[in-house]
Amino acid sequence: MSRKNPHNRYHNKHLFVMGGTQQNRSQWVKAWLETTNKQVYRLAPGLRTYYDYLEQVQAVFPFIPPHEEARVPPPHRWSYAQVWDYHLYFTHFTTEVLFVLEEFGDMEEEWKIEFLRDYASTSYEQEVTKGSKPRFQLIVTLPEVGDLLERLGEHLHLPSEESRTGLQVVYGKFEVINLNHL
């Protein structure tokens, strides 16, 4: 008799993993990664600035858009603006990919919201145009979520014909897993 995987219920949601210690959160992510068949892009834990984030994107993401393959200078010499554009492109056109942002709580507040808003907006656009199944998944670990979901909902720009609020979209896309209550 096979045992049911407790992580399966979360495979179609973006996740905020909070509570416990940093080691608990890291172990939870490690166990999760053992259950997925998605391509995993795991950024270094504890990123604090926009530049830290973009340097990690440069180091981790191997894909180069076809129209950029012959580009000079090569990607490792791209400006931060080019890396950011590439990150947006990659997120939008990717499938069966899992992004892991560990210990993201120390990220500068403005950029934390901007990065998460981009992931949420892209996920929303994919839902609207491609159906309800997300094409990528995001796991974010941090000590506590606080009002992050509410602030993210306030910054999510939706089309005027959308009947849901930004907060409703965020709550529909993200699941909070509190390790203190497992």
DSSP codes, 65-117: -GGGTT-SS-GGG--HHHHHHHHHHHHHH--SEEEEETTGGGS-HHHHHHHHH
From 4-8, 95-99, 112-116, 126-130, the region with the lowest mean pLDDT:
4-8
In this predicted model, what pLDDT tens digit does every residue of 32-43 receive, in sequence order?
999 888 889 899
pLDDT for the residue 7: 58
Q: Which residue has the tokens 């049911």?
A: 4
Q: For helices 80-93 and 109-130, what crossing angle results, to 10°?
A: 30
Each domain of the chain, given as residue ranges in start order, spans: 8-50+94-181
Residue 8, pLDDT above cutoff 70: no
| 161 SS3 class | coil
Element (H, E) at 36: none
Rounded Cα distance between 176 and 140, Å, is 10
Write out pLDDT tens, residues 74-98: 555 677 887 788 778 778 777 788 9
pLDDT score recorded for residue 58: 80
Based on the number of CB atoms within 10 Å of its own CB, is 36 exposed (0-12), middle (13-18) or buried (19 or more)?
A: middle
Q: How confident is the model at residue 62 (pLDDT cuts 50, 70, 90)?
A: low
Strand partners, 14: 174
33 vs 50: CA distance, rounded Å: 26
Q: Does domain 8-50+94-181 have CATH number 3.40.50.300?
A: yes
**Mean pLDDT, rounded, for 116-130:** 85
Predicted confidence at residue 126, as pLDDT, reads 83
What percent of the chain is predicted at pLDDT more than 70?
Answer: 84
Asked whether residue 145 carries a pLDDT value surpassing 70, the answer given is yes
- The position carrying tokens 């990664």 is 33
Task: Give the model's pLDDT for residue 92.
Answer: 79
Q: If you ran DSSP here, which 8-state letter would residue 44 be given?
A: P
